[in-house]
Amino acid sequence: MPISEPRVLVTGGAGFIGSSLVKELQFDGFSPIVYDFKDAETSRRIADDADVVCGDVRDFERLRRIVQSVNGIIHLAAVSRVVWGYERPRECVDTNIQGTANVLEAARKSPKKPWVIYGSSREVYGEPEELPVRESAPKKVLNVYGMTKIAGENLCRQYHRNYGLNVGILRFSNVYGGVHDHLDRVVPEFIIRSLMGEEITIHGGRQIFDFTHISDTLEGIMRMMVTLDSNNGPYIDDFHILTGKPTSLQQLVEIIQKATRNRSEIIYGPARDYDVERFYGDPTKASNLLGYTARTSIEEGIAGYVPLLKEHLEEVL
């Protein structure tokens, strides 16, 4: 994918999506800079020895200095889980809103005027009124995390409108597929429990989600990069980066049990007030305008993820 200048900053570049993206960028000939609050040694190990800057997106001056040298920013740094936002709301607000404002302000003040890709979430819709969800659907957030993400999106729109920044907003949905993910998230946790023959707990039981493999998520980011880089004037738009196909948690467990050749007992616990229960999105807009299509089915994704997690567990246990 040709880009005019290959220097790209990835905030949260040592996280799950970020570290996977950095490897993809390196493979495609880019020179990514990882900006993450993890220590340098950990970040380099996770991100394949990329250029690493240890920093917090809440540190504007440090961020501003780094942004001077890049032509694009992929902003993934965040308090990145609903449950963390619920448990640590102030940190979630500070990081996700002030941190995003700092990224956009650093881009505004840079002589290069870099484009910005903002990693948002399906959580901005809350409990949707209609399925599948389109980008134009009402935003009725249920939790602090979703509130911070919609605030970040609104900041992106203001910086585009007021200062002419080129911005792409990408809404991700239940991304899975790597060992650097948080292993207590639903897909890796269910796989690990199944591998170990332990009970699997489902909170509620009505949940339906749009599970998106990491490779398809990266494809969406790369296509957004090309669109922003090739645009001649100020640009902003929002897109779903997802499959458009619903999978219930019961179906997910069945797929995992088949892949692990194990049948863990399913325990149903009470639903959590801050969780969205039902979501899958319409990817038509991303298909039409970005040429994006998610290609990995949930069955294929889980079949490939199980051996990765099994190998990881054998290394750490």
CB 255 within 8 A of CB 190: no
Q: Which of 118, 145, 159, 305 is catalytic?
A: 145
**Cα-based distances in Å from 162 to 26, 100, 108, 155:** 33, 16, 10, 10
CA nearest to 280, candidates 237, 245, 232: 245
Amino acid, single-letter form, for residue 121: S
CB 35 within 8 A of CB 107: no
**159: phi then psi, degrees, rounded to nearest 5:** -70, -30
Is residue 274 among the annotated active site residues?
no
What distance in Å separates the CA atoms of residue 252 and residue 289, rounded to the nearest whole number? 30
Handedness of CA 229, 64, 157, 150 (dihedral sign): positive
Residue 48: strand, helix, or coil: coil
Active site residues: 145
